[in-house]
Amino acid sequence: MATGRTHRPATRSRGIPEATVARLPLYLRALTALSERSVPTVSSEELAAAAGVNSAKLRKDFSYLGSYGTRGVGYDVEYLVYQISRELGLTQDWPVVIVGIGNLGAALANYGGFASRGFRVAALIDADPAMAGKPVAGIPVQHTDDLEKIIKDNGVSIGVIATPAGAAQQVCERLVAAGVTSILNFAPTVLSVPDGVDVRKVDLSIELQILAFHEQRKAGEEALALAEAEAVVEVSEESGKGPDGDVPAVMPA
Amino acid sequence: MATGRTHRPATRSRGIPEATVARLPLYLRALTALSERSVPTVSSEELAAAAGVNSAKLRKDFSYLGSYGTRGVGYDVEYLVYQISRELGLTQDWPVVIVGIGNLGAALANYGGFASRGFRVAALIDADPAMAGKPVAGIPVQHTDDLEKIIKDNGVSIGVIATPAGAAQQVCERLVAAGVTSILNFAPTVLSVPDGVDVRKVDLSIELQILAFHEQRKAGEEALALAEAEAVVEVSEESGKGPDGDVPAVMPA
DNA sequence: CCATCTTTGTGCACGCGTTCACAAAGACAT
DNA sequence: ATGTCTTTGTGAACGCGTGCACAAAGATGG
């Protein structure tokens, strides 16, 4: 998952746990694939495998939505697709704007996954006057000056921020002031928003850093195991504070 | 955070909780900003605000790393930057390869956040022969045929998959076979990997769907509050199963 | 109609993560 | 040296999420 989440921990929406909501799109994708192969029904075991989760967890997740399965048979694929889509609010079309049409913004505009399910790129917005009018993914880029008007004319409530970090907070404030209440933030900044506005954060660099941590641990364990196997262990104590010189790749304990 | 996570839930690394690891990059970024402004020390309260978290949580997170603060004063910014960097394994350089140089792959290659802190784009790989040799972000794209050689020559252990969904699993298997043990997956697929390989998933479409859920709930609550205010409530019962026609935007209870 | 078999839905226990609240520790002034 | 004041570090309580294990429910066959 992209990682960072900025969420109201308080109100759970109609009793559906946040963790379950986060998995519904996963189930939906797996179900859609089954639907395209004209598979009529699926068991919790099969679907769980396809979605990469535990089958008990899947059943509990679905139990929050209602009793949509048939014991002894499984779940009706089409019906479940419909129910989850409805629950996620994907039966209606959500117009979204993307602000910041750099490399990432352009990639997002071209990303098929948006249009495919419930989302429509209503407008692309950039601060660079040279970009104005230039079509990206078939949509002409508009200038930031018109941001408020674009939001209101299109009834946009979801905004995607793909600007540099420095511009993100200001863009965010203008989006919110214009009526946007959900923001997907790709800029490496902590956005502060008023209550009632949801922010989700996708941070590429953070994901890599988390991987690096595990990678380092794996390397450390490997080397440690190796050292133990050789049974030649010399421990050089190092104490005190302050950025002292290099630290050995394999640290004791 | 992008959402999806595929992780060994079992082994906690040297006692540092996964949730804490996921926040360390956040702290590091805030600390780096302070460092650039030559701020010498910072309190848990201030740093927590900058990172967008609770101060108690931050202190507990740091307590897993050791006692790096000074009571009555706060934390030494430079020292903490060093300690967190070391903990995350960012004092060494991690060569990464990006596979799939479409819009997204190109955006990732150009993304400054990688190079800035511990990561180096060692190679760009694409299956399209027409791309071969073409420079993206100053790095010539190489063909998939040479994937194994590239991984081994550069000692790459972290791979980024930005291919279409259909190619992802196959690319993943080749990466793993060649020695990659950490994967950042942007393709909308569930990757299956052997034990010992970490996968983190960033799924743009899922993030939007989660936002849509909350957005729908907000709209529903608003409309419900409105209806209640008018005190004109007619409940039309609707039961039974099956994809019955349209569902009213505001559903009773 | 009854028995058997499959699969759902869920009660329960456990563990992780979060938050509160406070004692311990150190800086600083007198 | 002593007292005060600030801020850390952490024990303890709580709540959420996960997974086990099983009873309930329905399909299916005789």
Share of chain A above pLDDT 90, in %: 77
Query: pLDDT class for B250, splitting at 50, 70, 90?
Result: very low
Residues 6 or more apart whose Cβ sits within 8 Å of residue A14: B217
Distance in angstroms (rounded) separating the CA atoms of residues B111 and B35: 22
Q: Are A75 and A41 spatial neighbours (Cβ–Cβ below 8 Å)?
A: yes
Lowest mean pLDDT among A7-11, A142-146, B156-160: A7-11
**What chain B residue is nearest to A120 in terms of C-alpha separation?**
B208
Phi–psi pair at B72, nearest 5 degrees: 90, -15
- What's the CA B74/C1' C26 distance, rounded, in angstroms? 11
pLDDT category at A237 given cuts 50, 70, 90 is very low
Average pLDDT, chain A: 87
The model's confidence at residue B156, banded by pLDDT at 50, 70 and 90, is very high
Q: A200: helix, coil or strand?
A: strand
Confidence of residue A244 (pLDDT cuts 50, 70, 90): very low
Contact flag B204-A114 (C-beta cutoff 8 Å): yes
Check pLDDT > 80 for residue B232.
Answer: no
Q: Which domains does chain B have, with CATH numbers?
A: 5-88 (1.10.10.10), 94-201 (3.40.50.720)
What average pLDDT does the segment A157-182 reach? Answer: 98
CA A206 from chain center: how many Å?
13
pLDDT in tens, B54-105: 999 999 999 999 999 999 999 999 999 999 999 999 999 999 999 999 999 9
Q: Measuring from the CA of residue B75 to each C1', which nucleotide is nearest? A: D8
Q: Which residue has the higher pLDDT, A142 or B240?
A: A142
Tell me the C-alpha distance between A104 and B11, whole Å: 35
Question: In chain B, pLDDT over 70 holds for what percent of residues?
Answer: 84
DSSP string, B47-77: HHHHHTS-HHHHHHHHHHH---EETTTEEEH
Helix A204-230 × helix B77-88 angle, to 10°: 70
CB proximity under 8 Å: A 64-103 to B: 68, 78-79, 82, 86-92, 94, 96, 102-103
Say yes or no to pLDDT of B4 above 90. Answer: no
> Which of A104, A200, A214 shows the shortest C-beta gap to B210?
A200
**B 217-246 residues inside an 8 A Cβ radius of A:** 217-218, 241-243
pLDDT (0 to 100) of residue B26? 98
**pLDDT at residue B228, rounded to an integer:** 66
Question: Among partner residues B5, B103, B243, which is closest to A79 by beta-carbon distance?
Answer: B243
Checking if the pLDDT of A4 tops 80, the result is no
Characterise B133 by phi-psi region: left (phi > 0), alpha (psi -120 to 50), beta (else).
left
What's the pLDDT tens digit per position in A24-69? Answer: 999 999 999 999 999 999 999 999 999 999 999 999 999 999 999 9
pLDDT of residue B220: 79
Residue A253: what pLDDT?
Answer: 27
Measuring from the CA of residue A54 to each C1' atom, give the nucleotide at the shortest distance: D19
B215 touches strand C (CB under 7 A): no
Q: Which residues of B touch A36 (CB under 8 A)?
A: none
A9 CB below 7 A from strand C atoms: yes
**Tens digit of each residue's pLDDT (9 = 90 or more) over A128-166:** 999 999 999 999 999 999 999 999 999 999 999 999 999
How far is the alpha carbon of A86 from chain B, nearest alpha carbon, in Å?
A: 9
Higher pLDDT, A223 or A88: A88
How large is the average pLDDT for residues A158-187?
Answer: 98
Q: Is residue A191 very low, low, confident or very high in pLDDT (cuts 50, 70, 90)?
A: very high
Contact B205 A25 (CB under 8 A): yes
Measured between CB atoms, does A54 come within 8 Å of chain B?
Answer: no
pLDDT at B40 over 90: yes
Q: So what's the pLDDT on residue A235?
A: 42
Using the predicted structure, report yes or no on whether residue B3 has a pLDDT greater than 50.
no
Q: Which helix (H) or strand (E) holds B93?
A: none
CB B249 within 8 A of CB B221: no
Higher pLDDT, A107 or A246: A107
Contacting residues for B130 by C-beta, under 8 A, at least 6 apart: none
Residue B233: its pLDDT value, please?
Answer: 44
Cβ of B72 less than 7 A from strand C? yes
